[in-house]
């Protein structure tokens, strides 16, 4: 039996530390640690309280029953995932750290609406950042060799092309027009339409569409007698949008950082505006 591993699994699913689980059961975090490392077993009298706290059955505790995970509809997934990230940040910051600071009670949603951003950096590898409508997780941050991306000619070329004013103009037009339809990726565009609506000459339009096709932001479809049509691809469009959101964060003057880094002796936080 792997009761210890199951206790650890369901505790982490709750987002609790060993100490928090121990407090709910009236035992020390050392006792929970011994259970999870299978050095010892929880007393049988604690099992009802343990399963209630973890929200599982006895069968699940003994590894004989896997609870059916909640299915999240695709349309709800981005919002639910972002809410989960916000909750993780709330657990990260302990109000006691702020001492007597006037801003010790932080309304995370309000700060995000005001243009602040929340960042957590691991002292070993990885970082998370959340802004008003954008968040990212970078597991490569501080990882050995991760600096190579700054020297990548391929990345530099992609950034230059995406920053081209005609590319940005066509992206903005296609994105706004596609959102007005019932199906984001089914809205067709013709070269004549793009040329007219974006005020480009034929050569500029061809060059711009070529870039969007290169990055798979657009795909083309040629039908006999109907000419060539272009469609906005959701994955490619999301990638381009993320690049510009990240650039927007770099240009932002408002920030809230939570930092854990080799340069500090313990978890700390500071505010900058």
Q: Is residue 20 part of a domain?
A: yes
Q: Is residue 38 part of a domain?
A: yes
The structure's pTM equals: 0.69
Q: Is residue 69 part of a domain?
A: no
Return the higher-pLDDT residue of 83 and 168.
Answer: 168
Above pLDDT 90, what percent of the chain?
Answer: 45
pLDDT of residue 115: 78
Specify whether 257 is located in the same domain as 236. no
Q: Is residue 233 part of a domain?
A: yes
Specify whether 140 is located in the same domain as 100. yes
Task: Give tens-digit pLDDT for 58-102.
Answer: 888 888 766 566 788 898 999 889 888 887 777 666 544 444 444
Specify whether 172 is located in the same domain as 237. yes
What φ, ψ does residue 160 adopt, rounded to 5°?
-60, -40
Specify whether 172 is located in the same domain as 230. yes
Q: Is residue 159 part of a domain?
A: no
Domain count, the chain: 3
Range of the domain at 49: 3-61
Residue 103 pLDDT greater than 60, yes or no:
no
Q: Is residue 152 part of a domain?
A: no
CB atoms within 10 A of CB 192: 11
Cα 30 vs. chain centroid, distance in angstroms? Answer: 33
Specify whether 238 is located in the same domain as 258. no
Tokens of residue 174, six digits: 């296609």
Task: Give tens-digit pLDDT for 11-66.
Answer: 998 889 999 999 989 999 999 999 998 888 888 888 888 988 888 888 888 887 66
Helices (H), 98-220: 108-113, 153-163, 165-179, 191-198, 202-214
Q: Is residue 158 part of a domain?
A: no
pLDDT of residue 266: 44
172 by Cβ neighbours in 10 Å (0-12 / 13-18 / 19+) ranks as: exposed
DSSP 227: E
Average pLDDT over residues 146-160: 96
Average pLDDT over residues 188-212: 97
pLDDT of residue 262: 52
Specify whether 235 is located in the same domain as 262. no
Q: In what order do the strands lie in the sheet with 135-138?
A: 135-138, 127-130, 118-121, 255-259, 268-272
d(CA 71, CA 74): 9
pLDDT of residue 67: 58
Q: Is residue 265 part of a domain?
A: yes
């Amino acid at each position: 039996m792997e009761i210890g591993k199951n206790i650890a699994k369901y505790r982490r699913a709750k987002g609790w530390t060993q100490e928090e689980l121990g407090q709910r059961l009236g035992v020390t975090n050392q006792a929970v640690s011994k259970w999870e490392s299978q050095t010892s077993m929880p007393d049988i009298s604690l099992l009802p309280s343990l399963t209630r706290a973890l929200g599982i059955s006895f069968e699940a505790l003994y590894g004989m029953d896997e609870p059916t995970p909640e299915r999240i509809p695709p349309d709800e997934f981005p919002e639910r995932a972002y809410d989960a990230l916000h909750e993780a940040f709330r657990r990260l910051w302990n109000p006691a750290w702020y001492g007597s600071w006037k801003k010790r009670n932080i309304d995370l949603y309000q700060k995000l609406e005001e243009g602040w951003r929340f960042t957590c950096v691991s002292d070993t590898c990885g970082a998370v950042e959340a802004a008003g409508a954008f968040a990212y997780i970078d597991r490569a941050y501080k990882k050995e060799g991760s600096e190579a991306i700054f020297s990548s000619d391929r990345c530099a070329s992609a950034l230059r092309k995406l920053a081209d004013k005609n590319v940005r103009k066509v992206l903005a037009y296609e994105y706004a027009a596609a959102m007005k339809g019932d199906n984001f990726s089914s809205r067709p565009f013709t070269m004549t339409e793009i040329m007219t609506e974006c005020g480009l000459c034929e050569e500029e339009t061809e060059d711009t569409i070529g870039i969007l096709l290169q990055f798979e932001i657009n795909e083309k479809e040629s039908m006999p007698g109907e000419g060539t049509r272009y469609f906005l691809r959701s994955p490619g469009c999301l990638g381009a949008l993320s690049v510009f959101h990240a650039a927007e964060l770099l240009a932002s003057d408002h920030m809230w950082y939570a930092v854990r880094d080799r340069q500090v002796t313990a978890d700390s936080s500071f505010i900058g505006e």
